[in-house]
Structure 1
Amino acid sequence: MKKSTILFILSIIGVVILAGIIILYFIPHLQQAANQPEDTKSSLGFGEDAVKAEVLGIVEEGEIQLGNHTQTYQVLNIRILEGEFAGQEMEIDYGRQQTRPEGLNLSAGNQIIVSVGQDPAGNLNTFFMDFVRTRPLLWLFGTFVVFSVLISGWKGVRSLIGMGISLGVILWYIIPQILAGKNPVLVSVSGAFFLLAVSLYLIYGWTLKTHAAVLGTLLSLIVTALLANFFVDLTRLTGFGNENALFLVQQSNVRINLRGLVLGGMLIGALGVLDDLVIMQASLTFELHILNPVMKFKELYTRSMRVGQDHVAATVNTLVLAYAGAALPMLLLFSLGGEQIGYVLNLEFVTEEIVRAFVGSLGLIAAVPITTLLACLVALNHQRLGKFRSFFGPITLEEKR
Structure 2
Amino acid sequence: MKSGSKKLFLLKLFLLLILVGRLTFLRLVQAQESMDSLDSPELIESEVNNENEIIRAQVIELVEEGEREVAGVSAPYQLLKMKLLIAELGEPEILLEHGGLPVAQLEEFRTGEQVFINFYQPLSSLDLSEVVTNRQASISTRSRDQQLLFLFVLFMVMVIVVNGFKGIRSLLSLFFSFVVIFFVALPILLRGYDPSLVIMLLALFIIPPTFYLTHGVKQKTHVAVAATVISLILSSLLAITLINTMNLSGLATEEAAFLSFERQDVINIRGLLLAGIILGLLGTLDDVTVTQAGMTFSLKKNKPSLKFGKLFSEAMEVGQDHIGSMVNTLVLVYTGASLPLLLLFINNPHPLSYVLSQEVVVEEIVRILVSSVGLIIAAPLTTFLASAVANWDQIKSRIVVK
The bucket for the TM-score relative to the shorter chain is: 0.7 to 0.9
Once the two structures are TM-superposed, the CA of residue 94 in structure 1 deviates from its matched residue by 3.7
Matched, 1:204 2:228: no
Structure 2 distance, partners of 1:370, 1:191, is 22
Provide structure 2 residue ranges, at least 5 long, that are not aligned to the other structure.
127-131, 397-402
Q: Which residue of 1 aligns with 2:64?
A: 60
Offset at residue 6 of structure 1 (A): 6.7
Deviation at 1:86, TM superposition (A): 7.7
Please name the residue that 2:28 is paired with: 26
Q: Which residue of 1 aligns with 2:400?
A: none
Counterpart amino acid of 1:210? Answer: T
Provide the secondary structure at the position in 1 that maps to 2:267: coil
Q: Is the 8 A contact 1:43 1:251 kept in 2?
A: no
Distance in 1 of aligned mates of 2:44 and 2:248: 24
Question: Which of 169-178 and 6-15 deviates more?
Answer: 6-15
The answer to whether structure 1 residue 298 and structure 2 residue 309 are counterparts is yes
Equivalent residue in structure 1 for 2:41, among 33, 39, 52: 39
Give the alignment partner of residue 370 of structure 2, picking from 359, 365, 371: 359
**What pairs with 1:99-114 in structure 2 (closer than 5 Å)?**
99-100=104-105, 105-107=109-111, 109-114=112-117
CA distance in structure 2 between the partners assigned to 1:12 and 1:274 by the alignment: 22
Asked if 1:232 is matched to 2:243, the reply is yes
Q: 1:106 to 1:43 in 2, by over 3 A?
A: farther
Q: How far 1:384 sits from its partner (Å)?
A: 9.7
Q: Which range moves more in the overlay, 376-385 or 47-56?
A: 376-385
Q: Counterparts in 2 of 1:319-330, with a 5 A limit?
A: 319-330=330-341
Q: Report the Cα distance in structure 1 between the residues aligned to 2:74 and 2:355, rounded to whole angstroms.
A: 32
Residue of structure 1 in register with 2:319 after alignment: 308
**Residue 75 (structure 1) aligned with residue 86 (structure 2):** no
Q: What's the CA shift string for 1:221-267, capped at 9, x where partnerless? A: 10111000011111111112222112112212652111111111111
For 1:276, the aligned partner's letter is D
Q: 2:176 aligns with which of 165, 174, 177?
A: 165
Letter in 2 for 1:197: P
Pairwise CA distance, 1:281: 0.7
Structure 1 contact 51–113 (Cα < 8 Å) conserved:
yes
Superposed, 1:238-317 pairs within 5 Å as 238-252=249-263, 255-317=266-328
2:228 maps to 1:217: yes
Rounded to whole Å, the distance in 2 between the matches of 1:47 and 1:243 is 24
**Paired amino acid for 1:191:** L
The yes-or-no answer on 1:176 pairing with 2:187 is yes
Instruction: Give the match's secondary structure for 1:113.
Output: strand
Q: Which amino acid aligns with 2:170?
A: S
Q: Alignment partner of 2:361: what SS? A: helix
Are the equivalent residues in 2 in contact too, given 1:41–1:254 (CA < 8 A)? Answer: no
Equivalent in the alignment of 1:14: 17
- Mapped to 1, the partners of 2:158 and 2:371 lie a distance apart of 29
Asked whether the 8 Å contact 2:288–2:322 carries over to 1, the reply is: yes
Helix, strand or coil at the partner of 1:118: coil
1:399 equivalent in structure 2: none
**Does 1 or 2 have the higher relative contact order (CA < 8 Å, sep 6+)?**
1
Aligned to 1:26, what secondary structure does the other structure show? helix
Q: Does 1:185 align with 2:196?
A: yes
Kindly state the Cα deviation for residue 159 of structure 1 after the two structures are TM-superposed.
0.7
Find the aligned partners of 1:235 and 1:220 in 2 and give their Cα distance: 22
- 2:119 maps to a residue whose letter is V
Whether the 8 Å CA contact 1:53–1:80 is kept in 2: the answer is: yes
Contact 2:60/2:81 (8 A) holds in 1: yes
Give the CA deviation at 1:142. Answer: 1.0
Give distance in 2, aligned partners of 1:341 and 1:83.
57
Cα distance in structure 2, aligned partners of 1:329 and 1:148: 32
Aligned to 2:121: 118
Instruction: Tell me how far apart the structure 2 counterparts of residues 309 and 343 of structure 1 sit (CA, whole Å).
Output: 35
Aligned twin of 2:399: none
What letter is aligned with 1:141? F
Distance in 1 separating the partners of 2:116 and 2:183:
26
| Superposition deviation, residue 15 in structure 1 | 3.0
Matches within 5 A, 1:83-102: 87-97=91-101, 98-100=103-105
Aligned length: 379
Structure 1 counterpart of 2:28, which letter?
F
The answer to whether the 8 A contact 1:7-1:381 is kept is: no
Q: CA 1:347 to 1:58, structure 2 compared with 1: closer, same or farther past 3 Å?
A: same
Give, in angstroms, the shift of residue 17 of structure 1. Answer: 1.7
Structural RMSD (CA): 3.2
Is contact 1:180–1:254 with CA below 8 Å preserved after alignment? no
Give the Cα–Cα distance (whole angstroms) in 2 for the partners of residues 216 and 242 of structure 1.
32
Does residue 368 of structure 1 match 2:393? no
- Secondary structure of 2:56's partner? strand
8 Å CA contact 1:116–1:126 kept in 2: the answer is yes
How far 1:334 moved relative to its partner? Answer: 2.1
Percent of aligned pairs sharing the same letter: 35
Question: Do the aligned partners of 1:41 and 1:253 also contact (CA within 8 Å) in 2?
Answer: no
Q: Secondary structure at the match of 1:112?
A: strand
Alpha carbons 2:293, 2:383 under 8 Å: kept: yes
Cα distance in 2, alignment partners of residues 230 and 47 from structure 1:
44
Deviations 1:67-100 (A, max 9, x none): 9x99975321113234998844322244543444
Match of 2:176, SS state, is helix
CA displacement at 1:42 relative to structure 2: 8.2
Once the 2 structures are TM-superposed, how far is the Cα of residue 40 of structure 1 from its aligned partner?
6.7
Amino acid at match of 1:223: L
Do the aligned partners of 2:77 and 2:106 also contact (CA within 8 Å) in 1?
A: no
Aligned equivalents of 1:294, 1:339: Cα separation in 2: 61
Deviations 1:78-130 (A, max 9, x none): 1323499884432224454344477x6421x32101110239xx556110110
